[in-house]
Amino acid sequence: MNLSDYSFINTENELLNMLGEPSLLAKRKVIDHIDRHVSEFLSKSPFVVISTANAAGLCDASPRGDAPGFVSILDSKTLIIPERPGNKRLDSLKNILQNSQIGLLCIIPGLNETLRINGKARVTNDQNLLESMSVKGKIPILGIVVEVEECFIHCAKAFIRSNLWDSTSYDNELPNPASILSSHAKTLNRDTETIQQQLEESYTQRLY
């Protein structure tokens, strides 16, 4: 595909001329702090997608999940996300060290609306902040502290269109992650079965 053969939008004016201005509600729904509504939403959310970018602007989106309320509120402008054991790529953490801007998409299973939070992030190893997020006796080594700049509810249309919470719409034939990993990391010469065993060991023995 040669992208030069296609037309693209290049300015904000072009975009607004095509799609128009947002409604007053969409414009005015943004707040700059954690109020009781945001607090309640976070208390029921077990899943957050973190968006970061490095100094060059290269982007990454990474999931975080735990028991509902795992994102802890420190005060009306500050929250903290525990870093549980992962694959040690550290994509989000490395990005934050270069570029503090962060975006969060907070999700509650069964609810079509989501909560978006934008702000500035820092990586902490302060035990006074982290010890309260201990699970099964294991304190997270690191956490992501977010200084909140924007909070707002995102409408349900994407979730409605995708039927995300409707199990009757789910495909019974799902991709095999171990097979994908075996193919993408083929220089390691590890077959699907070996990788599947490694995944299961990680999922059962190294969650916390």
Report the pLDDT value the prediction gives residue 188, as an integer from 0 to 100: 93
Is residue 192 domain-shared with residue 146, that is, in the same domain?
A: no
- Tell how strand 114-124 and strand 47-53 pair up: unpaired
The alpha carbon of 152 is separated from its chain's Cα centroid by a whole number of angstroms, namely 15
d(CA 174, CA 158) in angstroms, rounded, equals: 21
User: What does pTM read for this prediction?
Assistant: 0.95
Report the pLDDT value the prediction gives residue 65, as an integer from 0 to 100: 98
Residue that has been written with the tokens 């070996």 in this structure: 194
Is residue 105 domain-shared with residue 149, that is, in the same domain?
A: yes
- CATH number of the domain enclosing 94: 2.30.110.10
List, in sequence order, every residue forming a beta bridge with 107; answer none if it has no partner.
47
Is residue 97 domain-shared with residue 138, that is, in the same domain?
A: yes
d(CA 107, CA 116) in angstroms, rounded, equals: 9
Residue 115 neighbours by CB under 8 Å, 6+ apart: 38, 41, 42, 45, 104, 105, 106, 151, 152, 153, 154
d(CA 105, CA 117) in angstroms, rounded, equals: 7
Take residue 16 and report the two structure tokens written for it: 């607004």
Is residue 49 domain-shared with residue 151, that is, in the same domain?
A: yes
For the chain, the helix, strand and coil percentages under 3-state DSSP, each to the nearest 5: 35, 30, 35
From the list 106, 132, 121, 105, the residue with the least C-alpha distance to 40 is 106
DSSP state of 193: H
For the CA atoms of the chain, what is the radius of gyration? Answer: 20
Q: Is residue 103 part of a domain?
A: yes
Q: Is residue 184 part of a domain?
A: yes
Q: Is residue 114 part of a domain?
A: yes
Is residue 141 domain-shared with residue 39, that is, in the same domain?
A: yes
Count up the domains in the chain and report the number.
2
Domain enclosing residue 193, as ranges: 174-208
Consecutive 10-residue averages of pLDDT for the chain (208 residues): 93 96 96 99 99 98 98 99 96 99 99 99 98 96 99 98 97 97 95 96 94
